[in-house]
Amino acid sequence: MWQSVGLTLLVIVATIVCALLFMLFGWYVVWHLFLSKFKFLRELVGDASTPQTENQPSELGTERTSPALIRSRPRSARQRVAFPDGTL
């Protein structure tokens, strides 16, 4: 009788441990793939280990607004002389 009670408790404890490990692994994967991209969630958790995601949106924003980075067709020598600043 004590063997069956011990085996039952062992199965229950092992099931709980496996479920907790699975949940922790899932949280780790979801954090790194999705949730760490949000600055307010990183601040709530207190994680400062991923600062590179803060710089990416600002760099992309400056690339979009900067007229010097917009590619266009090559200009002739006459256009380069007439418009040295790159405007039309």
Rg (CA), the chain: 29
Among 2, 3, 6, 26, smallest CA distance to 14 is for 6
10-54 pLDDT, tens digit each: 999 999 999 999 999 998 888 888 888 888 778 887 776 655 545
Task: Report d(CA 3, CA 1) in Å as an integer.
Answer: 5
For range 51-78, the mean pLDDT:
57
Task: Report d(CA 8, CA 2) in Å as an integer.
Answer: 10
Task: State the alpha helices, DSSP H only, in the chain.
Answer: 2-33, 39-45, 52-65, 77-82
- Enter the pTM of the model: 0.43
Domain spans of the chain?
1-48
- DSSP strands (E only) in 12-62: none
